[in-house]
Amino acid sequence: MTRITSVRLGLLGTFLFLLAALGPRAARADFATVNGRLVIPVDDDTALDTDSPDDLALKGGIRIRSAGGQMLQRAVQSGRTVRVTGTGSSGQQLRGASGDDRNDSGNVQANDPALDHIQTFPGTRPFEFATQSETSAVKNGRDITVGYNSSAGAVVQQFPQGLFFTTLKFSAFSTSHDGGRTWSSGFIPAIDDNQAPFTFGDPALAADRRGNIFYASLGVTADGAHGALILSKSSDRGSSFGKTVLVAVDDGSDKEWLAIGADPTSPRRDNIYVTWTSFITNAQNQTIASELWLARSIDGGQTFTSRRLFAPVDDGRNSSFIQFSNPVVDASSGRLYIPFLHFSDSDADNVRVLVSDDGGVTFRFLVFNVPGALDAFAFPNVTPGLLNDCKGGGVRNALVAGLDQGGGRFGLPNFRQATRLVSQPHAAASRGIFAFVLNSNVSPFFGDDSEGSEIRTVISRNGGVTFTVTQVAASTAADPQHVHPAISLERGGEKLTISFYVQQADRRLRTDVASVRIDGNRVRVKSVSALSSTSFDLTPSNVKRTATANTNFDRTVTTCYDIGEYQTLARSRGGDDDDGVFAAWGDNRRTWVGPTGSSAPGPHAQPDVFTTSVGDGD
């Protein structure tokens, strides 16, 4: 047993003590207004958590609540005229060897760097709005739209009562009409931008057969009183998104995902499916479980009906928590697959897959029958990464770089450069082929990164009756870590394209892409090549601020958030591979210069979104 695993198991009681010390999740207060607008208060530890309202690290009964996820904690009321005393300025973003060109050897930056900015106010450290990552995309020929998380849509203002976010648009997009050569950028509207101009990211994009593009995201109700799942629609090839509609009201909502496909019982109609995780609290307002939910629209996204699909119970082996659903529809049949991760009380968590053949009315679980698994419906997987203390962002599995700052709780490391890791079973389906990809720890012990990590794809050629597991990228001395894969399946069901991050031995990151061929009963990895044209450093996302508090250089964003938790590959809907596969990912090759007073002053890596065309998969 490795040292880190011994620490994890030996300190279970300490972790549970920490949970009690952090206390119950803060109740959402009633909202008041400042000059007719809702605002979000800002203090030194206010941060937007792009993962979950409670940022749970779940292993072996460990439940650690972050203080960072409370996005709408309270509001203030004033009858006085608003007086904005903060000064805003544009962020300085250096270009390195590429000059001002957003095209770097075939990789093109999609987000507009001019939207990044700095705001400074007397008596507090600067606000550096300069984080973009976590991509989802749709493609239709030369029209491409990429959604991503972005802090550049934030505005802070100063009132007599203090500093407040008056706008926080974390759901961003960029659109290209020339195959990805040039881009324009914008932000998804909230349900009511006049009353509650807040969106919270986790983008998921899909298109229907008419070419409409839909963007699912986290947000709030029109009055800002509750958390919500929201959906925006573009009818002009992604150039703009119209009125945002309410999918579901859920204060515990997180990690929504979107799929669109023909209803098997009404093939001429496209159904819109939105799945998400709903975190459940007890009477003491403590998070005790999470559930898988589904919202379905049969009228083009105008209205939705919602239902709970799965509510796990801790039985001593399986936990009461799920996360990271990723629905996909097989266009040839309308079959809906919903893979998700079910956390266990041991090192390996389990992927489960729900299937519906009647448009989301009834479901059944796929059977894996993996030897040694907890049950026949579980596909076990150990999430990679080193357990790192992210302070307010929780204790998280992460890729790390640089030096340990020391002062980590429970003897854990506390790296200044870190990006947290999850295991989302990213999936694709076509013509009876169903496949998902995972990042998998080589070590069987959760939190032990000493043996590296690999990318595996799990493929069924018969609609989920039997499965084949193929290693796509193995851990080596030169490239020990492989994480956060995305998958795209060619319409004919013969070619898979899989992209993923690689952490090199020097701790720098790059992205790679693999071409996988499905030939009868044979699955072959034909090639693995570079996707990003350069490797890049991790950002200072976990800087020690005090003895007990860390901060991201971009103080709007929670600690240890850098490259995001997923990337994307996109093919034209219904087309062949002639126009290729399009890739988008979080990338830190650009340089950001932190201003005086910053937690990370001077030049360092900055998260942006980069893109490229991959080819036809051959």
In three-state secondary structure terms, 481 is strand
How confident is the model at residue 521, as a pLDDT? 81
Instruction: Name the pLDDT band for 102 (thresholds 50, 70, 90).
Output: low
Q: What is the mean pLDDT of residues 92-97?
A: 38
- C-alpha–C-alpha distance, residues 476 and 494, integer Å: 28
Q: Which secondary structure element, helix H or strand E, spans residue 149, and what is its range?
A: strand 143-159
- C-alpha–C-alpha distance, residues 57 and 12, integer Å: 13
Q: How many CB atoms lie within 10 A of CB 215?
A: 26
Q: Is the dihedral of CA 543, 549, 555, 559 positive or negative?
A: positive
For residue 346, how many C-alpha atoms fall within 13 Å in the half-sphere facing its CB?
A: 12
Higher-confidence position of 45 and 574: 45
Instruction: Name the pLDDT band for 38 (thresholds 50, 70, 90).
Output: confident
Which has the closest alpha carbon to 558: 69, 159, 142? 69
Which has the closest alpha carbon to 474: 450, 497, 455? 455
Instruction: Name the pLDDT band for 2 (thresholds 50, 70, 90).
Output: very low
Burial of 268 (0-12, 13-18, 19+ CB in 10 A): exposed
Q: What is the mean pLDDT of residues 306-324?
A: 96
Q: What is the pLDDT of residues 318-366, one digit of tens each?
A: 999 999 999 999 999 999 999 999 999 999 999 999 999 999 999 999 9
Tokens of 80: 């006085």
- C-alpha–C-alpha distance, residues 381 and 426, integer Å: 13
Which has the closest alpha carbon to 537: 576, 503, 582, 491? 503
Q: What is the pLDDT of residues 492-525, one digit of tens each?
A: 889 999 999 999 999 999 999 999 999 888 899 9
Q: What is the mean pLDDT of residues 408-413?
A: 95
Q: Which residue reads 């796990």 in tokens? A: 312
How confident is the model at residue 444, as a pLDDT? 97
Q: What is the mean pLDDT of residues 166-174?
A: 96
